[in-house]
Amino acid sequence: MRAITKHWPRVAVTLLPLVFALLHAAGLLQIGVLQRLDEIIYDARLRATAPKTLDDRIVIVDIDEKSLAEVGRWPWGRDKMATLVNQLFDQQKIGILGFDVVFAEADASSGLARLTELSHNELKDQPLFAERLRQLRPELDFDALFAKSLENRAVVLSYYFSSEEDAGTSGVLPAPVLTDKELSGRSIHSTSWNGYGSNIEGIARAAPVAGFFNPIVDDDGVVRSLPMLAEYKGKYYESLALGMFRQLAGAPKVVPGYPSDRFLPHSYQGMDRLVLKQGDRTLGIPVDDKVAALVPYRGRGGVRGGSFKYISASDVLLGRLPVGSLKDKIVLMGTTAPGLLDLRVTPVGEAYPGVESHANLISGLLDGKLLFKPDYAVGYDVAMLTIAGLALAFGLPLLSATRAVGLSVAVAAVLAGLNFWLYLGYGLVLPLAAALTMTVTAFALNMSFGYFVESRSKRDLANLFGTYVPPELVDEMVKDPDAYSMKATNRELTVMFCDMRGFTKMSEQMEPTQLQELLTGVFSNLTSLIRANRGTIDKYMGDCVMAFWGAPVETPEHAHLAVKSAMEMANAVRDINADHRSRGLPEIGIGIGLNTGTMCVGDMGSNIRRAYTVIGDSVNLGSRLEGLSKAYGVDIVVSETTRNLAPDFAWQELDRVRVKGKEQAVAIFWPLAPENRLKDDSASELKTWNSFIKAYRLQNWDQADVLLINLMRMNPKKYLYQLYAERVASMRLLPFDPEWDGATNFETK
């Protein structure tokens, strides 16, 4: 309790995200970004868990571009539609047919329509022709032909509702499945409409079962759900998917289902399921507060989506399918042709056929596997937010930064894990974005409060020592000041010397301020790469940078990081030179020397000025290696000790050298690339080079010449090969020396 009291301001700050999240969950403060994030989570989860398998029970007869090209532009004549229906039922023996198209107008292409265009006077003068017209009327009326093909068959038509203020009505609506009287005073918050467009009377009378095909388009334009019921003038009508499912189930009665909450008045209880009732049997279909069902998309849509079989309508109409190949199938007729405007944005595709949305919902109804957002989703969200928010508010202030990260990650993992378990196991779609955002925000506020308020004294310490101690050391001191001493110690480190060449020439062409600005930009670029790889900048010496790895923060992989940093710096200089060429400026060169060894590191200097630096023989060798880079025509020279501690790189041995002040020869290397990124041709070149070095040290000049010729053919511009060609030509003139160790002596720094 004392610890909580001590950190109470920090607790209060950490509680703020919980307050805002609870207001959002309760609907008192709508935060759009949280709603959008919940939709993103839902879409990603739906795509990840979609079965991506074929449901062979449902077939889509597609009015596709092929059909339009072969049969003609849409709408087709009703005589053709009659032939299509007869083919499906008589030849293919399908189980049920659902139309995702509306027949809202009489067929203008029928023979009757064309003949009635004749004027009354023309018919009056031709009584025999008029009598013949009356006899042929049933054959010429294509709407009647189409209606006859629908009679006494398992057919579900479709229509649409409109929400426009001045929306009109056309066609004939089917019988509603519910009315206000059957709700007994309870409420249904379904979608409500002002008008409709349905099928003409003759067709609607022939196939009395019909369902609307309106989707629910979310604010981001994505279709995630389809309404199961829609209200029009106090009556409730079923959707196309529900209508087809009911016909397959024997046309059970639709009954509203309500939650069994005894504490709320009936008028406040919304429908949470549709109940299909037939005799003593009942089936509950879960729905959301809009009496809609989330579409259980099986995968990518369309002909190649793999979720449903698509058959071109022209293939059915022209009798190309084997007889009975669609026996007992559930058939939906719709379109994927872009010009017919039935493509929608869904979580699984941005041009998804609308007809396939209904197919997915029917598939889910058949399997009894529908995702749904339960009526208690708000209560669940509030409970999870409260538990997680309080745990973070009272736990984070008591923990170190590392443990605070662990607690926050654990809370987020539990929230996400429980949410996903309920989704996968029970099909529950519950909110998650507010809880995750609250967790991240609570952690960020807790850390920020600790940094800006409670660590003020630590920052004062950093300001005191930051004037002469590198920031890395300051960070180490701030974490545990008592455990750190600036006393000099001997440690294994890796040192780097980086010299930039070409500035002398540039100084002759540029103003001092321009040169200063350019040099500062280059130094800033290279320094950021060193710091990004955990290196410590020791000092700047004219146009040279000195840095080291492994202190003040102990870094076991100091050699690897130093090599990685050197290669990145060399690449950065190449980019800088490309920019210089485009601007007409001279190019700069770079020479880097790396050595690993025991060095003395600590706070050194005088009473006037001190610095955290490294000294020792290993440091001097690093400086000498930097000077050798120009001699070998490479930008990086690395000692053997560094190379041995960085095995993740591919290396080319340059030579064995004996530098000024050192009697023992050391092998020097050039890093080519990370080991796993070395190209095949470079690997072949490296293998040939290793054979050459071996022949060179054995003084086998003939073999060395042959190998050099091959190397220069592989890489004719490489200065290293030209250097050794001159050496071999010169040493060939000397007698064999059994005492020669293959090393090159350098007497200058």
pLDDT at 477: 61
Give how far the C-alpha of residue 573 lies from the chain's centroid of Cα atoms, to the nearest Å. 33
DSSP class of 490? E
User: Which residue type occupies 720?
Assistant: L
**Full DSSP string of 579-631:** HHHHHTPPP-EEEEEEEEEEEEEEEEE-SS-EEEEEESHHHHHHHHHHHHHHH
Query: Distance from first CA to last CA of the chain, Å, rounded?
Result: 67
Q: Mapping DSSP to helix (H, G, I), strand (E, B) and coil, where does residue 725 land?
A: helix
**Residue 435 pLDDT more than 70?**
yes
To the question of pTM greater than 0.75 for the whole model, the response is no
pLDDT at 724: 94
**Residue 637 pLDDT more than 90?**
yes
pLDDT at 352: 94
**Residue 88 pLDDT more than 80?**
yes
Cα–Cα distance, 239 to 342 (Å, whole number): 17
> Crossing angle for the helix pair 127-140 and 142-150, nearest 10 degrees?
30
> Using 50, 70 and 90 to split pLDDT, how confident is the model at 479?
low
Tokens of 606: 């005088």
**Full DSSP string of 657-702:** EE-TT--S-EEEEEEEEEGGG--HHHHHHHHHHHHHHHHHHTT-HH
Q: H or E segment at 571?
A: helix 558-583
Closest CA to 143 of 172, 112, 118: 112
> Using 50, 70 and 90 to split pLDDT, how confident is the model at 258?
confident
Contact 195, 237 (CB under 8 A): no
pLDDT at 266: 42
Give how far the C-alpha of residue 518 lies from the chain's centroid of Cα atoms, to the nearest Å. 39
Answer left, alpha or beta for residue 637, where phi above 0 means left and psi between -120 and 50 means alpha: beta
> Using 50, 70 and 90 to split pLDDT, how confident is the model at 105?
very high
Q: How many CB atoms lie within 10 A of CB 408?
A: 23
User: Which residue type occupies 147?
Assistant: A
Using CA atoms of 729, 733, 739, 741 in order, give the dihedral in degrees to the nearest 10.
Answer: -10
Tokens of 367: 């399997």
pLDDT at 13: 83
> Using 50, 70 and 90 to split pLDDT, how confident is the model at 240?
very high
User: Which residue type occupies 21?
Assistant: A
Worst-scoring range by mean pLDDT, 382-396, 461-475, 487-501, 721-735? 461-475
Q: Mapping DSSP to helix (H, G, I), strand (E, B) and coil, where does residue 98 land?
A: strand
Cα–Cα distance, 265 to 261 (Å, whole number): 9
Q: pLDDT tens digits for 332-361?
A: 999 998 878 788 999 999 999 999 999 999
Task: Answer with the residue of higher pLDDT: 264 or 296.
Answer: 296
CA dihedral for 525, 526, 532, 536, sign (positive or negative): negative
Give the percent of the chain with pLDDT over 70. 88
**Mean pLDDT, the chain, as a whole number?**
87
pLDDT at 468: 37
Task: Answer with the residue of higher pLDDT: 286 or 483.
Answer: 286
Q: pLDDT tens digits for 531-578?
A: 889 888 888 888 899 999 998 878 899 999 999 999 999 999 999 889
> Using 50, 70 and 90 to split pLDDT, how confident is the model at 2?
very low
Tokens of 50: 């979609």
Q: H or E segment at 644?
A: helix 640-644
Q: pLDDT tens digits for 499-537?
A: 988 777 777 777 888 788 888 888 889 988 998 898 888
Q: pLDDT tens digits for 660-669?
A: 878 889 999 9
pLDDT at 133: 46
Contact 253, 277 (CB under 8 A): yes
**Full DSSP string of 62-94:** E--HHHHHHH-SSSPPHHHHHHHHHIIIIIS--
Taking CB atoms within 8 Å and a gap of at least 24, the contacts of 697-700 are: 697/742, 699/731, 699/736, 699/737, 699/740
pLDDT at 120: 44
Closest CA to 48 of 424, 433, 346: 424
Cα–Cα distance, 305 to 219 (Å, whole number): 26
Answer left, alpha or beta for residue 43, where phi above 0 means left and psi between -120 and 50 means alpha: alpha
**Residue 720 pLDDT more than 50?**
yes
* Domains of the chain and any CATH numbers: 2-29+380-454 (no CATH), 58-367 (no CATH), 485-675 (3.30.70.1230), 679-749 (no CATH)
Worst-scoring range by mean pLDDT, 39-43, 134-138, 140-144, 552-556? 134-138
Cα–Cα distance, 621 to 497 (Å, whole number): 10
Contact 98, 158 (CB under 8 A): yes
The three-point CA angle 544-550-556 to 5° equals: 135
Q: H or E segment at 514?
A: helix 512-532
Q: pLDDT tens digits for 157-200?
A: 999 999 888 888 999 999 999 988 888 777 788 899 999 999 99
Cα–Cα distance, 672 to 689 (Å, whole number): 13
Cα–Cα distance, 12 to 531 (Å, whole number): 37
**Full DSSP string of 382-427:** HHHHHHHHHHHHHHGGGS-HHHHHHHHHHHHHHHHHHHHHHHHHH-
pLDDT at 147: 95
- The top-scoring range by mean pLDDT among 222-231, 337-346, 676-685 is 222-231
> Crossing angle for the helix pair 240-248 and 354-367, nearest 10 degrees?
40
Q: pLDDT tens digits for 21-71?
A: 999 888 888 888 999 999 999 999 999 999 999 999 999 999 999 999 999
* In 430-520, beta strands by DSSP E: 489-501
Contact 52, 301 (CB under 8 A): no
Q: pLDDT tens digits for 596-636?
A: 999 998 878 777 777 778 999 999 999 999 999 999 999 99
Worst-scoring range by mean pLDDT, 95-109, 395-409, 478-492, 510-524? 478-492
Tokens of 405: 């990260």
CA dihedral for 405, 407, 411, 414, sign (positive or negative): positive
Average pLDDT of the residues in 248-259: 90
